[in-house]
């Protein structure tokens, strides 16, 4: 083994990662026979944490959980500087085996390799709580708590989707102390860096023939609604030139959103995912239309500019058709640029692996966007078949995750040595 690059037995690592993933797809780890379904404070989620705890303790890690249930495992005492790796092991309610779980399994494999190869790298694994929001309808909840992106009032107001009971009630019943939630921030105190491996959840890597993606930014987004109010009339009796059709305004806006997003820089994308028409009858001209906007990108001005221009376009389109439009923003989030030094170390390791890789942004949100507030961070993507995710049909290759583990190990080795 050279000082610059360590090769691993990728086939053995792939088998171990596959064993982890297949075990966690078993009946003790999901609430559904048709899909992977596990979320905070359920027995199946508890079983999943216990599985990873057992695997980490086997290679000398001390495992703890913070006051809300984020899992933390270290091979150094508290106070010593460590490099962070991990992801999440909860699932979408109709999820697959790989989303999140593969990232934690790859982090565990890095820990196994560290022990077997005698590298003695200082490591900390984190599996964040409720990334998918399946328990309480709040995405990246565990990492948002750690990053201080929630308030006490909000935490006390969050309610479980299944039974309506509060987050605090469920956390306490599971043996945690959610009233101490501010102390969760401490789990990042000793980190000198952070890397999360995740399936891509798109098909860019697959379509371009790349085995790894080195993620240099996580897209920001605008979530909004446009409501158009026209006039509902009889579909047969009302001539075309006497209509104020809210549905046609919506249709024009959908096409304009596509045009604006294609022209914008920064990997900008725009989607209308929800639509409503009233009265929603086959023989009535729509008098009201409501449609959602999901506009994302890694160029802040570009994606926010698309939202502004579409708002203005909707107003003009509605005016021309004798209607009105109203723009309402639900939520917006800024771009998360990832750390150039960590990204550079990953890119160098990926290049040294001899395997094809792509430097790319993430269009989806991840826990890393919260960690990056305080810790130099980056991500590694592996392909998923057909880009399918959040589905029982989700597929990814453990061999790609093993390659990802090798690249992470070498990047961390370089970063730790550089200090």
Annotation: binding site for Zn(2+): 88, 99, 132, 198, 390
Separation CA 271–CA 254 (nearest Å): 8
Secondary-structure breakdown of the chain: helix, strand, coil percentages, each rounded to the nearest 5: 40, 20, 35
Separation CA 85–CA 100 (nearest Å): 12
Name 387's Cβ contacts closer than 8 Å, sequence gap at least 6: 200, 201, 202, 203, 204, 206
* DSSP run (H or E) holding 293: strand 288-297
The backbone torsions φ and ψ at residue 126, rounded to the nearest 5 degrees and listed phi first, read: -125, 130
Separation CA 51–CA 99 (nearest Å): 17
CB 136 within 8 A of CB 167: yes
CB 125 within 8 A of CB 70: no
Separation CA 169–CA 136 (nearest Å): 12
Binding site, annotated residues: 88, 99, 132, 198, 390
Separation CA 227–CA 38 (nearest Å): 36
The C-alpha angle with vertex 387 and arms to 379 and 377, in degrees rounded to 5, equals 5
Separation CA 404–CA 337 (nearest Å): 21
Q: DSSP states of 173-215 as a string?
A: HTT--GGGGGGGGGGGTTEEEEEEEEE-SSSHHHHHT-SEEEE
Helix (H, G, I), strand (E, B), or coil: what is residue 288? Answer: strand
Q: DSSP states of 33-82 as a string?
A: SSSB---TTSHHHHHHHHHHHHHHHTTT-EEEE-TT--EEEESS-TTS-E
Left if phi > 0, otherwise alpha if psi is -120 to 50, otherwise beta: which for 96? beta
Separation CA 18–CA 386 (nearest Å): 19
């Amino acid at each position: 083994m050279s000082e610059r690059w360590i090769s691993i037995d990728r086939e053995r690592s792939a088998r171990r990662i596959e064993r982890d993933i297949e075990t966690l797809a078993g009946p003790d780890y999901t609430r559904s026979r048709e899909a992977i379904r596990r979320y905070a404070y359920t027995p199946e989620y508890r079983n999943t944490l216990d599985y990873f705890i057992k695997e980490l303790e086997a290679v000398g890690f001390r495992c703890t959980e913070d006051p809300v249930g984020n899992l933390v495992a270290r091979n150094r005492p508290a106070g010593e500087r460590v490099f962070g790796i991990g992801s999440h092991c909860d699932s979408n309610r109709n999820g697959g085996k790989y989303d999140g779980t593969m990232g934690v399994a790859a982090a565990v494999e890095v820990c196994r390799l560290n022990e077997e190869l005698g590298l003695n790298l200082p490591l900390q694994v984190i599996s964040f709580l409720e990334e998918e929001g399946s328990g309480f309808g709040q995405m990246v909840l565990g990492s948002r708590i750690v990053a201080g992106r929630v308030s006490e009032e909000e935490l006390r107001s969050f309610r479980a989707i299944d039974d309506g009971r509060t987050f605090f009630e469920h956390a306490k019943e599971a043996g945690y102390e959610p009233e101490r939630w501010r102390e969760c921030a401490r789990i990042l105190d000793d980190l000198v860096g952070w890397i999360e491996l995740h399936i891509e959840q798109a098909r860019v890597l697959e379509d371009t023939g790349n085995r790894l993606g080195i993620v240099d930014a996580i897209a920001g987004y605008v979530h909004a609604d446009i409501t158009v109010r026209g006039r509902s009339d009889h579909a047969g009796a009302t001539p075309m030139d006497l209509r104020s059709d809210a549905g046609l305004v919506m249709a024009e806006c959908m096409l304009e959103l596509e045009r604006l997003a294609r022209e914008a820089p920064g990997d900008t994308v725009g989607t209308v995912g929800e639509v409503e028409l009233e009265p929603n009858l086959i023989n009535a001209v729509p008098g009201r239309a409501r449609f959602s906007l999901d506009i994302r990108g890694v160029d802040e001005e570009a994606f926010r500019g698309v939202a502004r221009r579409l708002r203005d376009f909707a107003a003009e389109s509605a005016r021309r058709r004798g209607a009105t439009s109203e723009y309402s923003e639900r939520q917006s989030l800024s771009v998360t640029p990832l750390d150039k030094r960590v990204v550079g170390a990953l890119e160098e390791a990926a290049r040294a692996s001899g395997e094809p890789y792509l430097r790319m942004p993430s269009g989806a949100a991840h826990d890393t966007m919260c960690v990056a507030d305080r810790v130099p961070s980056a991500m590694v993507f592996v392909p998923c078949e057909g880009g399918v995710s959040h589905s029982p049909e989700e597929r990814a290759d453990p061999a790609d995750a093993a390659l990802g583990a090798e690249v992470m190990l070498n990047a961390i080795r370089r970063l730790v040595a550089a200090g």
